[in-house]
Amino acid sequence: MDEPSALSRLPKVDLLLQRDDAAAAIARYGRGPVTDAVRRALDDIRTEVRAGRPLPPPDEVVTRAVADVAGARAGRLRRVVNATGVVLHTNLGRAPLSAAAREAAVEAAGYTTLEYDLGEGARGSRTAHVGRLAAELCGTEAATVVNNGAAALVLVLAALSTGREALVSRGELIEIGGSYRLPDVMAVSGALMREVGTTNRTRVADYRDAVGDDTGLLLKVHRSNFEVVGFVEEAGAGELAALGRDAGVPFVHDLGSGLIRTANDGPFAGEPSVEASVAAGADLVIFSGDKLLGGPQAGIVAGRADLVRRCTTHPLARAFRIDKLQRAALEATLEAHLRADVPTDVPTWAMLTADPASLRARAEQLAPLIGDVATAAPTRSVVGGGSLPGVELDSWGITIGRADVDGLADDLRAGDPPVIGRVDDGRLVLDLRTVPPADDDLLVDLVRAALGDTAARERDGGAASGDVQRAEDATA
């Protein structure tokens, strides 16, 4: 068939949209996007026919269009089963919310009292209530909340030290994931960064020698995502608080991951806590809501009422404010921490404190249900999210050995919902610490389905290797 004759036989857009497969796509994605995709498919086919390729049947035109629309929607947020063993997996959304936090967010999705005072019948404060909860938990005079930890630090620096020096140790000029570098953040805030001490040793005397009329605040930043070992020394929170009082400048402690209560043993021993920093005399503490607190993305600033007020009245406070869903989920999370020192109804804390013996029992129960290729085995989990670097937790999971282990990982990621594991020494590891017990049956079904897909591909001789998500790449 010659080119003009073939092109003349291309189906019209309106006729293609009347097909059952197109109607199903329209019901799912909308008429406009499907219509546009059909037109793009027809344009591509015209180019192919002119290049000598045969005219495809109408069903292929619609198939291409639907694949086009589906591909454009593939980046939407989807639920996943996190079997990496990384509790606060940044790439997977960090802390999963508790049932109470989810319910609160759903309730807040409609009209709410976000900025309305029921008693007065007039406009109220967006952050007053959640700030009171945070202050109560932290044991401080006041607190406020913004939309993430970086915003909290920028707001504090802008409110207290714009055009003035913020003294910080050279050993604490951190960089974390997503191109967050402390010197850049300080520059954006308007504060003038003044480095003191050295990379490995900074004493309170270094701060004292640098304090002057231009000093706006003393800043200490927790190195939450790396360790400095060997010949090291750092100024303590108590020393800096005392120096700040003597010099008449605020001492701000950025705790990053935000462990609320001091732990004397276990994996959190030695991790600086909000409780300890406040007790040491910090004027303001800063920490995140979606790390060790186990809540939604948020940045919390707690401390002296006059300093918190300077933050809440700064113009950037509005730019950094939380929305109603964040506030609702954060309030539920703070209430959980107020009820219990170890709030195991918060999933992060349920995972962090899970008993390895119970994880082993689950692994030994699930492995036979998956099949002979699956084995219950000990493994190691990490906290992740830039928290507790170097700390590993004894765990148990399921290991699966296949010739096409990367292909199996690909097939698991293609499931609904996707399962994200890790490949270690040629075996797929599914760490149960980060899989809620309620998802055990779902995990078994998804793994069995993926094994079937992988086996079929191996029989066909078309095994393909894939890019595998590794837990150790996502702990920052």
Range with the poorest average pLDDT among 228-232, 239-243, 465-469: 465-469
pLDDT at 474 over 50: no
Mean per-residue pLDDT over the chain, rounded: 90
Identical fold for domains 81-89+349-474 and 97-341, yes or no, is no
**In one letter, which amino acid is 238?**
G
pLDDT for 459: 65
- Cβ pair 11, 58 in contact under 8 A: yes
CATH number of 81-89+349-474: 3.90.1150.180
pLDDT at 56 over 90: no
Provide mean pLDDT across the span 389-405. 90
pLDDT band at 282 (very low <50, low <70, confident <90, very high): very high
Nearest to 166 by CA among 249, 287, 281: 249
- Cβ pair 143, 278 in contact under 8 A: no
If one compares 68 and 462, the residue with the highest pLDDT of the two is 68
What's the distance, CA 438 to chain centroid?
Answer: 22
Cα 341-345-361 angle, rounded to 5 deg: 105
Q: Which residues pair with residue 166 across a beta bridge?
A: 193, 217
pLDDT for 475: 40
DSSP 293: T
Question: DSSP string of 348-385?
Answer: HHHHHT--HHHHHHHHHHHHHHH-TTEEEEEEEEEEET
- Cβ pair 203, 236 in contact under 8 A: no
DSSP 54: P
Distance between CA atoms of residues 297 and 291, nearest Å:
8
The pLDDT tens digits for 80-108 are 999 999 999 999 999 999 999 999 999 99
DSSP 314: S
pLDDT at 72 over 70: yes
Provide mean pLDDT across the span 39-48. 91
Residues 6+ apart with CB under 8 A from 278: 138, 139, 140, 285, 302, 303
Provide mean pLDDT across the span 24-47. 93
pLDDT band at 166 (very low <50, low <70, confident <90, very high): very high
If one compares 464 and 120, the residue with the highest pLDDT of the two is 120
Domain ranges in the chain?
3-73, 81-89+349-474, 97-341
CATH architecture of 97-341: 3-Layer(aba) Sandwich (3.40)
Provide mean pLDDT across the span 227-253. 90
pLDDT band at 466 (very low <50, low <70, confident <90, very high): very low
Distance between CA atoms of residues 254 and 153, nearest Å:
7
The pLDDT tens digits for 340-361 are 999 999 999 999 999 999 999 9
- Cβ pair 370, 448 in contact under 8 A: yes
Give the highest mean pLDDT range of 144-158, 185-199, 252-266, 396-410: 144-158
pLDDT at 378 over 90: yes
Distance between CA atoms of residues 158 and 174, nearest Å:
19
pLDDT at 471 over 50: no
